[in-house]
Amino acid sequence: MPLNYFCAPGFFLVCLILIPTVSAENLNIYFKASPLTAQLRPFSEPATLSLLVTEANGKPLAVAWLEVRLDAPPARLFSTDFPLIEGTQLLDMRIPLKAGKAEWKYLFPIRGEYQLFVDVLTLDGTKTSKTFGLRIREHRDKWLVLTSFTAGLLVLGFVAGRIFTRAPRKAHGALLLAVAISLVTTESIGAEIAADDTTVGRLEVDVPAVGKPAGVRWTMLGGRARAKRGALLSLMIIHVEKRKAVFAIERMFVEGEYSMKFQFVDGAEHRVVATAELPDGQRVRAEQVVAVSGGEPPLSAMVPALGLFLGAIAVGLGAGRWSRRRATPS
């Protein structure tokens, strides 16, 4: 996005005169999550993410811009609740620093190691970068459910092995087919965008699909004179069904327009709300409800889980047959 969307040229000139040039090598970038990442769980509650940029002497950097990108954890042997987003880009935005600090809220959708890439752009055009790793753990109750379900299949196989020990081999194959569990595919939902234009601001959202970032744009209407005055923009994205905010950023100074890339990770309706505070005190609200199209999980995500369940049944069958034959007199 062009740099002049965030600050007026006159403001740039004042900053260049009053603020000494800061070398990118002397900048320190700090990251903080609240609650701590060790306490966060997937799709539980949104976390407040903060970035602080200071000079070598510890003084917060007065004026600069941040380019922030968040990548989802890579695919593992056992997939997460949203396998289509694994290893993809979740968020890409550019935000101005305010007293050396930038803050937003985000709801982490899956477990694993996230990568947060941060670039600091100073007034003289120099850039410094830093990468942060964020590890989100899975809910304990999900591991308990998985363990209990696998143990249940093992017991089922054991009982079946004892009952059908003397049955022909073909019957055993039929039993395996009978207990195999088929996965239900996600139905694709067509996206519809309800426009909510106003005389001051317009909100636009690209057709969203799980696995691909969608563009979110807010444009100030009313001519170049109004755009130069700027506005304090607040953006919020809400999961309609679960009534949770998956992303939020408040009172960010923009001029003319603002755009970012955001991935809607769940194939459900989301409400995107933009609220602009104008210099004259007027508040303008624009809102859209978008339907996110889902997709079928990849085969690589289904095979390991299905293999685990069938393997548990097979082990139980073998153990049941062995115990029955050992107990039967020759």
| pLDDT, position 174 | 41
User: Are 104 and 121 part of one and the same domain?
Assistant: yes
Do residue 28 and residue 82 come from a single domain?
yes
Residue 181 has pLDDT above 60, yes or no: no
Residue 151 pLDDT > 70: yes
Read off the pLDDT of each residue in 43-63 and give the average, rounded to a whole number: 92
The parent domain of residue 206 ranges over 186-295
| Residue whose pair of structure tokens reads 């005169």 in the numeric block | 17
2-49 pLDDT, tens per residue?
444 334 444 433 343 344 445 556 899 999 999 999 999 998 899 999
Does the pLDDT of residue 138 top 60, yes or no? yes
Average pLDDT over residues 173-191: 36
Q: Is the pLDDT of residue 169 over 90?
A: no
> In terms of domains, do 6 and 107 share one?
yes
Which of 71, 103, 137 is the last residue in one of the domains?
A: 137
Average pLDDT score over residue span 102-130? 93
Q: How far apart are CA 92 and CA 82, in angstroms?
A: 19
275 shares its domain with 205? yes
More confident residue, 71 or 161: 71
Q: For 42-189, list the strands marked E by DSSP.
A: 47-54, 65-71, 89-96, 101-106, 112-121, 127-136
Residues 35 and 95 in one domain: yes
Q: What is the pLDDT of residues 245-270, one digit of tens each?
A: 999 999 999 988 899 999 999 989 99
Same domain, 22 and 129: yes
Percent of the chain with pLDDT over 90: 44
pTM summary value: 0.72
Q: To which residue do tokens 């989802």 refer?
A: 72
Do residue 145 and residue 35 come from a single domain? no
CA dihedral 166, 182, 311, 316 (to 10 degrees): -40
- Domain shared by 123 and 43, yes or no: yes
Rounded to the nearest angstrom, the gap between the alpha carbon of residue 296 and the centroid of all alpha carbons in its chain is 19
Residues 307 and 158 in one domain: yes
What is the CA angle 101-105-106, rounded to 5?
Answer: 130
Residue ranges of alpha helices (H) inside the chain are 9-18, 140-163, 169-179, 224-229, 299-327
Q: Is the pLDDT confidence value at 152 over 90?
A: no
Residue 317 has what pLDDT? 72
Q: Are residues 3 and 129 in the same domain?
A: yes
Which residue, 179, 199, 213, 211, is CA-closest to 276?
A: 199
Dihedral sign for Cα 265, 270, 276, 281, please: negative
The count of other CB atoms within 10 Å of the CB of residue 283 is 12
User: How sure is the predictor about 225, in pLDDT bands with cuts at 50, 70 and 90?
Assistant: low
User: pLDDT grade, residue 213 (50/70/90)?
Assistant: very high
Residue 202 shares a structural domain with residue 252: yes
Q: Which of 278, 280, 276, 279 is nearest to 235 (CA)?
A: 276
Q: Select from 118, 137, 156 the last residue of a domain.
A: 137
- Considering the domain architecture, whether residues 3 and 132 belong to the same structural domain is answered as yes
Instruction: Count how many domains the chain has.
Output: 3
CATH number at residue 234: 2.60.40.1930
Name which of 108, 27, 111 is nearest 70 in CA terms.
Answer: 108
How many whole angstroms separate alpha carbon 317 and alpha carbon 175?
10
Of 137, 154, 172, at which residue does a domain stop?
Answer: 137
Residue 178 is predicted with a pLDDT of 41
For the chain, what is the mean pLDDT? 78
Residue 307 has pLDDT above 50, yes or no: yes
**Percentage of residues of the chain with pLDDT beyond 70:** 72
